[in-house]
Amino acid sequence: MNARLIVLLIALTAVICSALGVVYARHESRGAAVQLGMLEDQRDEYIAEWSRLQLEQAWLADASHIETKAREHLGMQDPEGAVILVVKKP
Amino acid sequence: MKPAEQYKAPVGRLYGFLLMFLLCSVALVARAVNLQIIDTDFLQDQGEARYLREVVVPTRRGNILDRNGEPLAVSTPVDSVWVNPKMLLQAPEDITPLAEVLGVDADEIERRLTQRSNREFVWLRRRLHPDTAAQVDSLNLHGVFLQKEYRRFYPAGEVTSHVIGFTNIDDVGQEGLELAYNDWLQGKPGLKRIIRDRLGRTVEQVEMVRESQPGHDLSLTIDRRLQYLAYRELKSTVLKHGARSGSVVLLAVKTGEVLAMVNQPSYNPNHASMDSEGLRNRAITDVFEPGSVMKPFAVASALETGRWTPTTPIDTTPGYINVSGHTISDHHNYGPIDVTRLITKSSNVAATKIALDLEPAHMWDTYDRFGFGDVTGTGFPGESAGVLRNHRRWRRVEQATLSYGYGISVTALQLAEAFAALADEGRLRRPSLVMGAANPPTSILDPKIARQVSAMLETVTGPEGTGKNARVENYRVSGKTGTSRKASASGYASRYIASFAGFAPSSDPEVVGVVIINDPSGGAYYGGLVAAPLFSEVMTGALRLLDVPPDNYEGMVVQAVKPASGGDR
């Protein structure tokens, strides 16, 4: 009789522990899911930012843009004729 | 005290109650079993419907990049603003700050919203500038919402518009490579099932119904720098000569990759208004009678017979020839010349004499091997195959005109493909627009003949040639001018197509260029005057940008000064 009571108590404790465990794991997983959602949003935001930066860079590096800058603001010109030299190794 | 002993209940009533309880519990258990085990879906669905949601996971369209990884088409999320008229009209004083931010008239907005006051969703402005969107968001107005949408941007604008094309408002390709590679570029939106709480926050992701697949990036063989250069020069030439349209194609000889492909007129794919004239990628979709740029292929065909060599004499006196009642004439009477000078001077009479000596089947075969009359196989929407009639239906005069490029229709890209084969010792490669395409060359011409024809083509930019304007400083250039009259309803009109096709450096060709100027109206219309200078400008830039070493540099060689100390590095 006594031994059966002990077994019953142990089983009861185990059941309660496992139930608490389930509750805890559930809670954890929900927390993780929220975190995942936030990180995914953040990732999407970074991807969006990246595409915007790419566009900005493409616009800044646009050949016509650079050409205007080089020719008009910096007074640069194409090297022509004798300015190009072929150097032979001695 | 034992009251039970004092009162004895009738046994029948006891059993009666027991039976009743038993029946009740059996009914309950049966219902429970029915709901929990047999008909589970009902409860499940009812329960889930109260907190489970299916959410679309949006995905973006792949970018289009040039050969160096520079972006040519990029999708980026932008905000569109929509309002719920019922909510906003409750506080009309909110409309003024909103209108201010959007830069529109407040009364106008109010009028629109009042007209649609029975609806719950009205777009106010789609695809806002990010700054404007942030301002709208910070106003925090009741009944004003932002919705994320992807928008496609083309940083190179009109310079690449024909090759790339554009997408519609739903991000589906409509033209160009956006259309041809739509399936590759377009992602598949995913679907996930989530649990949300009362406030709409995601509590748990139950399952991924469908994984979202982002679109793939597409790398083109186009070099954005060359594309821009070609476009700028083409535009100024078309303007200068008052031409109706024009195209430039640059092809890498050793890979068949299209380095640049530009057309005029063009359009800006970032703005919605486009007229249909500018939409076509003329270099691929439009055919024309090429004129004299076809002569090298007639000559190649003649050399293949073995009856002709580069020095075989041809007498072109008196500068015209009669074939089946048609007169074919040269600009001048060139007198007795040889096959090389035929190309140098672009003599129609000499070309005719050669053509009439050839078997029609053989001449057709040569043209066919160079890819004329066949699609180039780029998979570009609307690609044209050109026209090369079967030799069985050739009349004698037709065979003669084919030698100098009439009676045959080609695209600019076909011409570039064929010239690339001449440049690369008779190896033909299909032109490709997308990186990584397997592109094995096929040998279509004896390398010796290809070299002979190339040598003839080099004389065109020589002191007596018709293409002196195509010269590139410090490089040897081979090419051929072309000027063809445009066919119209009443025979050939006095409208012209000026063309130049060539390659450089001649000693080891790297780049093929084809220039087509359609209907120049400024007086000059010869290929050597209109198209050749443009070829020179574009080729100069291309050789410099591609780091091709010069092969013609007498007078610019300097001996490196030996360092005083140290050593050879």
Task: Please determine, for residue B564, whether its predicted confidence score (pLDDT) is greater than 60.
Answer: no
Residues B67-125 pLDDT 10s: 998 899 998 888 888 888 877 777 777 788 888 888 888 888 888 888 887 777 788 88
The Cβ of residue B482 has, within 10 Å, a number of other Cβ atoms equal to: 32
Q: Which of B2-6, B70-74, B322-326, B559-563 has the lowest mean pLDDT?
A: B2-6
Is the pLDDT confidence value at B438 over 80?
no
User: Least CB-CB distance to A37: which of B70, B202, B555?
Assistant: B202
Rounded Cα gap, residues A38 and A42, in angstroms: 6
- B-chain CB neighbours of A61 within 8 Å are 70
**Contact at CB, A84 and B556, closer than 8 angstroms:** yes
Mean pLDDT over the full length of chain A: 85
pLDDT score of B568: 45
Residue A80 with chain B: CB contacts under 8 Å: 473
Q: Which residues contact B551 (CB under 8 A, 6 or more apart)?
A: B475, B476, B505, B506, B507, B508
Give the tens place of pLDDT for each residue, B126-162: 777 778 888 888 887 777 888 777 888 898 888 999 9
Number of neighbours of residue B522 by Cβ within 10 angstroms: 11
A64 contacts in B (CB within 8 Å)?
A: 228, 232
> Is A3's Cβ below 8 Å from some Cβ in B?
no
Identify the top-confidence range among B202-206, B449-453, B565-569: B449-453
Q: Please report the pLDDT score of residue B567 as a whole number.
A: 43
Lowest-pLDDT range of B36-40, B175-179, B357-361? B36-40
> Is B50's pLDDT higher than 50?
yes
**Residue that is written with structure tokens 């709409």 in the block:** B200
Tens-place pLDDT, residues A2-32? 888 999 999 999 999 999 999 999 889 888 8
Paired tokens of B54: 């299916």
Angle at which helix B360-369 crosses helix B295-305, to 10 degrees, equals 120
pLDDT of residue A37: 81
| Cβ B469 vs Cβ B537: under 8 Å | no
d(CA B59, CA B148): 12
pLDDT at B110: 82
Residue range B388-395: mean pLDDT, rounded: 89
* Per-residue confidence band for B569, with pLDDT thresholds at 50, 70 and 90: very low
Name the one residue in this structure whose structure tokens are 């006051």. B117
| Residue-by-residue DSSP string for B445-484 | S-HHHHHHHHHHHHHHTSTTSS-GGG-BTTB--EEEEEEE
Give the residue extent of every domain in chain B. 56-219, 224-268+280-545
Identify whether the C-beta of residue B182 lies closer than 8 Å to the C-beta of residue B172: yes
Enter the DSSP assignment of A56. Answer: H
What average pLDDT does this structure show over B207-221? 86
Q: What is the CATH number of domain B224-268+280-545?
A: 3.40.710.10
CA atoms within 13 A on the CB side of B296: 34
Identify whether B292 is a catalytic site residue: yes
Model pLDDT, residue B104: 81
List the structure tokens of A72.
Answer: 């008009």
Q: Flag whether the ipTM exceeds 0.95.
A: no
Interface test with B, best of A23, A30, A56 (most B CBs within 10 A): A30
Q: Averaged over B507-511, what is the pLDDT?
A: 93
Average pLDDT over residues B4-21: 80
Pick the most confident of B44-58, B182-196, B220-234, B271-285.
B220-234
Residue B198: pLDDT band (50, 70, 90) is low
pLDDT at position B250 is 95
Q: Which residue has the higher pLDDT, B385 or B274?
A: B385
Position A70 pLDDT exceeds 70? yes
Options 3.30.379.10, 3.90.1310.10, 3.40.50.720, 3.40.50.300; CATH for B56-219 is 3.90.1310.10
**Would an 8 Å CB–CB cutoff place A68 in contact with chain B?**
no
**B213-241 mean pLDDT:** 92
CA dist B472 to A20, B461, B524, Å?
83, 9, 21
Amino acid B111: pLDDT: 84
Chain B residues near residue A89 by CB distance under 8 angstroms: 560, 568
Which letter, b or e, does each residue of B8-21 get, where b requires 16 or more Cβ atoms within 10 Å of its Cβ? eeeeeeeeeeeeee
Contact B470, B457 (CB under 8 A): no
**Joined tokens for residue B165:** 């094309």
Q: How far apart are CA A74 and CA B488, in angstroms?
A: 50
Q: DSSP E strands: which ranges in B9-133?
A: 52-57, 64-65, 71-83, 122-125
B558–A88 C-beta distance less than 8 A: yes
State the smallest CA–CA distance between residue B425 and chain A in angstroms.
28
Question: 10 Å Cβ neighbour count for B162?
Answer: 29
Closest partner CB to B71 (pick from A34, A36, A58) = A58
pLDDT above 80 for B361: yes
- Share of residues in chain A with pLDDT > 90 (%): 27
Nearest to B228 among A64, A88, A89 (CB): A64
- Mean pLDDT, all residues of chain B: 86
Task: Pull the structure tokens for residue B265.
Answer: 């007129």
Among B5-9, B238-242, B399-403, B493-497, name the one with the lowest average pLDDT.
B5-9
Between B417 and B212, name the one with better pLDDT: B417
Please check the confidence at residue B41 and state whether its pLDDT lies above 70.
yes
For strands B64-65 and B218-219, give the pairing: parallel
Residue of chain B whose alpha carbon sits nearest to that of A53: B76
User: Distance between CA B128 and CA B351 in Å, rounded?
Assistant: 62
Mutate to test the interface with A, among B66, B68, B76, B149 (most CBs of A within 10 A): B76
Tokens for A65, please give them: 């843009």
Q: Looking at the DSSP assignment, which residues form a beta bridge with residue B159?
A: none
Q: Maximum distance among all alpha carbons in chain B?
A: 152
Nearest-by-Cβ selection for A86 from B70, B77, B557: B557
